[in-house]
Amino acid sequence: MHDIQPSFSEGSKDSNSSEAKWKETLDKVAAAVVSVKFCHTTSFDAEDATSSEATGFVVDANIGYILTNRHVAGPNPFWGRCIFENHEEVDVYVIYYDPVHDFGILRYDPKSVKHMSLSAIPLRPDLVKVAEAVRLVGNDAGEKLSIQSAVISRLDRNAPEYDESGYNDFNTNYIQAASGATGGSSGSPVVNIHGQAVAMQAGNKSRTATDYFLPLDRPLRALQCLQKGEPITRGTIQCQWKFKPFNECQGLGLTAEWESELRKAFPNEVGVLVAERVIPQGPSDSKIQVGDILIKVNGKLLAQFKYLDDILDSSVGSNIELLLQRRGKDVEVNIEVADLFKITPDRLVSVAGASFQDLSYQRARAHGVACKGVYLCDSSGSFTPLSDGCLIQKVDAKATPDLDTFIEVMKTIPDQTRVVVTYTNLDDPRTPRFTILRIDRYWSNKITQYVKNDKTGVWDFTHLADAITRSLPVPSTASFVQLRSVPKAVADITKSIVKVECFVPKNLNGSYYLPRPSVGVVIDAEKGVILVSRATVPHALCDITITIADSVIVDGEVLFSHPMHHYALIRYDPLLVRAPLQSVDLSSKPVEQGASLHFVGFKDKNIGGPMYTRTAVTDVCNLQLEANPERPKLRAINSETLRVDTGLADDCGSGILMDDDGIVQALWLTSLHYAGYSDVYRYYGLATSTIFPVISRVRQGEVPKLRFLSVEFEAITMSQARDMKVSEEWIGKVEVANPSCHQLFKVKKRTIQSDDKSKALLEGDIVLTLNSGIITRLSELDINDDAESLDARVVRYGEEVNLELQTVLADDFETKRAVLFCGATLQPPHHAARLRVGKSPSEVFVSSVRGGSPASHYGLSAATFITHVNDTAARDLDSLLKAATTIPDNTNFTLTTMSLSGIEKVMKMRKNDHYFPTKEWIRATPKWIERVI
């Protein structure tokens, strides 16, 4: 925030005395306005976990109360701080947020403010009036203190509808004004020339420069209750009202007699309240109908929301009498006022990676359903196939009418059990839907309940139950479908194809995308080995489900991952499968252009039965997939691909190509490809001759310890080779060695493994030979003999040089450890990240950042490196953890980071061990071990 420089832009110029008065007022007001920096740490009640900033203002300097918006203070678990005009920063927590209206009250410790005198802004909702000039004093998009002029144009606007899927205020009038408030100004005081808050900024419509202000009647009452130590009672009859002008009410049946009485009683009003929505099974259900006009409450005429609120809030547990006009007839009803807090959830339960709560009044009103049921607020983990916001009706055929029952049902389900879940979507509540979920408790082994503590503002958690050990799997029998009207050798391929799905609990290797289900090919039925794309199994921190013959389901584990050709080998227990699985017969010979083959493919989504066609190979060429420069992810590199003449291949993300004898010539796989704006999936054919050497070793019982050159190559033509000083002698040798394709390969990117330039390839090097063999195809760059070094002859800067190249183990580039720190997932750089930067500035790579976490809040970005914690070098995960464990909870420290482009940045960070404890995952083959630091 900066010194105040008020500007005045009203149509008529204020007098000098008015300007002086405004400046004096604003100088005083600014001392009480704060910038609120906050995190909503967990998704809750349709509000996402997020980090943001807004405005608040001190309303009690002695106790330390700050008024701000509800969409700032709640309903999610909250972690935040406020920054005063002099840039002092103090912690704040939520002491109250309103169940319906858009306001909340934060609390800070006044003793923690050391360098300025605190003052409060008085709340005077009674002074607001049309045509009054006011000022908004607030936070301008999180940057500085700003002041906006406004003129109040309406006092009786209905609450604006922002988004049905999120929070909306209702049952209140809003104040409308013309202004130009920006993001971050939510919660700004709207002050008059005397420095009194007459309203609070709540929203705006930027296109029309229209602002929506919340009246302060209810915030003032809540504040007074807190100051007196009294409970804040809130009553409801579960009916949404809307203010409608008299001319519209006439069409709904308002009689002239009642209109006359209402106009006489409220000469400044131009309308009354009309029932807009009645919540099923609530107190008003069957008593109030949509379109009813509210005439009297407890025998008194009523035309304003604030008086209705007064009556409801003071009548919790009692009955009220309503006189309504329904189609021109008087209707009297007696309704019990319920406690609004009882239908405002303040707890969530985490189970199997997902979060649940009781359905709130906010969600019930938005969708017109009864205010009851188990609401899925974060569909992560085992519940990922469902969408956020659905209602869980049954689990494993057991009804779950409320959260407590749901908890008891989930306690009885053993780990890895597959259950049928019945649910409904709130936008179609009458249609039950069904899905089969695997309740995975390995990655989230406890059922944990979080409950809001109104005294501390923190959500306290308790562990309700540990996971029940999974039942031992039993062998199952299945038979395969048959392809129709194809040669028998081709039809039998279905006995070698399985479906593979993968659940990834943590975003590793820079990936935010969900793994894609696909088919896998049985490489060895006796040993239970399957080959599948790494788009399906991206890394080993996962759960793998293998479905055989659409009948038998078994678990899998990662055996081997290829860093270049983008496939993985996974393993299952063959003793659990009593089905005639067959190992595929793989060709060891390269596929030639023009070959006639059979294509059997499977679509990605909801993998159904096989699709078949006969096709021809139109080309065998280099697979060129661009890397994402900002978020490097694993992709196929240094691979050759087949192109075929069937459009079916463009629809299938997995499949096989075989000859008439049933010999598999190529696999159809999926990889990521950066298309200049985002990552997309690319389908490609990989000849089995490329993978045959690895598969042969697996069939002999080996776990491959593959070595490779950690560089990415790109092809160059002979004309380009001449420009880069390749001799005519070598060009002639290339043309003889490969008559069908004249090309050489240049180093495009490398990961630096050696500072000795005689033992490493450099960008721009053109490889002529490896171990005396001329390199004219990418497949000739594969290392199949585990050689730790290779003799190479290359053209470097126009000169031929001999090199002794050091190879690296593929397994060393696989992710075997991950650390969760301040909401960021950290790991050693994966292969794609190493290729992007060459020499990594540290071995601590930020793979992903969770929304609403300290890492997100303070601006730590994914795809960066952490080089220092305070002054301690973070060379690797061990040194980072050693430095991190010395930092006390809720204290500031610094992180030094480096971007992929080498830009260094120092940022402030603060730990929050309550919501974001430090953990690590370590692979202990085949499982992973979690350790809380």
Domains defined for the chain, CATH in brackets: 19-228 (2.40.10.120), 235-341 (2.30.42.10), 345-466 (2.30.42.10), 476-700 (2.40.10.120), 710-806 (2.30.42.10), 815-932 (2.30.42.10)
Summarize the confidence of residues 268-279 as an average pLDDT: 95
Q: Report the distance separating Cα 557 and Cα 555, nearest Å.
A: 7
Mean pLDDT of the chain: 92
Summarize the confidence of residues 845-867 as an average pLDDT: 95
How far lies 717's CA from each of 510, 638, 754, in Å?
33, 16, 29
Extract the tokens encoding 345: 């959830």
**From the candidates 52, 179, 185, 561, which is the catalytic residue?**
185
Beta bridge partners of 790: 805
Extract the tokens encoding 207: 């296109």
Cis? peptide before 926, omega within 30° of 0: yes
Q: Report the distance separating Cα 841 and Cα 671, nearest Å.
A: 28
Torsion of CA 213, 219, 220, 222, to 10 degrees: 180
The SS3 of residue 362 is helix
> What is the predicted pLDDT for the residue at 143?
57
Residue 834, H or E segment: helix 831-837
Extract the tokens encoding 117: 């005198």
> What is the predicted pLDDT for the residue at 180?
55
Beta-strand relationship, 338-339 and 235-236: antiparallel
What angle, rounded to 10 degrees, do the helices at 305-313 and 217-228 form?
30
Q: Report the distance separating Cα 695 and Cα 629, nearest Å.
A: 33
Q: Is the dihedral of CA 63, 69, 72, 73 positive or negative?
A: positive
> What is the predicted pLDDT for the residue at 3?
38
- The answer to whether the beta carbons of residues 504 and 517 sit under 8 Å apart is no
Give the up-direction half-sphere exposure of residue 44: CA atoms within 13 A in the CB hemisphere.
Answer: 25
Task: Reduce the secondary structure of 194-252 to three states and give it as a string.
Answer: CCCEEEEEEEEEHHHCEEEEECCHHHHHHHHHHHHCCCCCCEECCEEEEEEEHHHHHHC
Extract the tokens encoding 918: 């430090």
Beta bridge partners of 321: 334
Helix%, strand%, coil% for the chain, nearest 5:
15, 40, 40
Summarize the confidence of residues 64-89 as an average pLDDT: 94
- The answer to whether the beta carbons of residues 255 and 263 sit under 8 Å apart is no
How far lies 486's CA from each of 291, 614, 660, 919, in Å?
66, 10, 10, 54
> What is the predicted pLDDT for the residue at 11?
45
Measure CA 173 to chain center. 34
Summarize the confidence of residues 881-899 as an average pLDDT: 95
Residue 43 has pLDDT above 90, yes or no: yes
403: DSSP letter: H
Residue 412 has pLDDT above 70, yes or no: yes
- The rounded percent of the chain whose pLDDT value lies above 70 is 96
* pTM (predicted TM-score): 0.92
**From the candidates 71, 831, 857, 868, which is the catalytic residue?**
71
Residue 876: pLDDT band (50, 70, 90) is very high
> What is the predicted pLDDT for the residue at 15?
63
Q: Report the distance separating Cα 242 and Cα 169, nearest Å.
A: 12
pLDDT tens across 316-343, in order? Answer: 999 999 999 999 999 999 999 999 999 9
Residue whose C-alpha is closest to residue 189's, from 214, 164, 208, 225:
214
Residues 6 or more apart whose CB falls under 8 angstroms from that of 580 comprise 479, 480, 495
Residue whose C-alpha is closest to residue 846's, from 819, 879, 869:
819
Beta-strand relationship, 799-806 and 789-796: antiparallel
Residues 6 or more apart whose CB falls under 8 angstroms from that of 807 comprise 707, 708, 709, 783, 787, 788, 789, 790
Residue whose C-alpha is closest to residue 242's, from 286, 179, 288:
288
Residue whose C-alpha is closest to residue 808's, from 549, 478, 564:
564
How far lies 882's CA from each of 676, 876, 921, in Å?
40, 10, 16
Residue 5 has pLDDT above 50, yes or no: no
Residue 6: pLDDT band (50, 70, 90) is very low
Residue 568, H or E segment: strand 567-571
How far lies 9's CA from each of 129, 135, 151, in Å?
20, 11, 11
Task: Reduce the secondary structure of 303-320 to three states and give it as a string.
Answer: CCHHHHHHHHHCCCCCEE
Residue whose C-alpha is closest to residue 823's, from 63, 42, 214:
42
- The answer to whether the beta carbons of residues 882 and 778 sit under 8 Å apart is no
What radius of gyration, in Å, describes the C-alpha atoms of the chain?
Answer: 34
Extract the tokens encoding 232: 């804040």
DSSP 102-157: S-EEEE--GGG--SS----PPB-GGG--TT-EEEEEEEETTTEEEEEEEEEEEEEE
The SS3 of residue 323 is strand
Residue 248: pLDDT band (50, 70, 90) is very high
Residue type, 139: N
> What is the predicted pLDDT for the residue at 207?
52
In the annotation, is 71 catalytic?
yes
pLDDT tens across 710-742, in order? Answer: 999 999 999 999 999 999 999 999 999 999 999
**From the candidates 102, 211, 543, 782, which is the catalytic residue?**
102
Q: Report the distance separating Cα 16 and Cα 25, nearest Å.
A: 14
Residue whose C-alpha is closest to residue 331's, from 364, 286, 387:
286
- The answer to whether the beta carbons of residues 308 and 337 sit under 8 Å apart is no
Extract the tokens encoding 453: 């503590």
> What is the predicted pLDDT for the residue at 609?
81
pLDDT tens across 577-635, in order? Answer: 999 999 999 999 999 999 999 999 998 766 778 899 999 999 999 999 999 999 999 99
pLDDT tens across 486-511, in order? Answer: 888 788 899 999 999 999 988 899 87
Q: Report the distance separating Cα 915 and Cα 3, nearest Å.
A: 36
- The answer to whether the beta carbons of residues 887 and 917 sit under 8 Å apart is no
- The answer to whether the beta carbons of residues 334 and 237 sit under 8 Å apart is no
Residue type, 330: D
In the annotation, is 102 catalytic?
yes
Residue 95 has pLDDT above 60, yes or no: yes
- The answer to whether the beta carbons of residues 523 and 533 sit under 8 Å apart is no
Burial degree of 741 (CB within 10 A; 0-12, 13-18, 19+):
middle
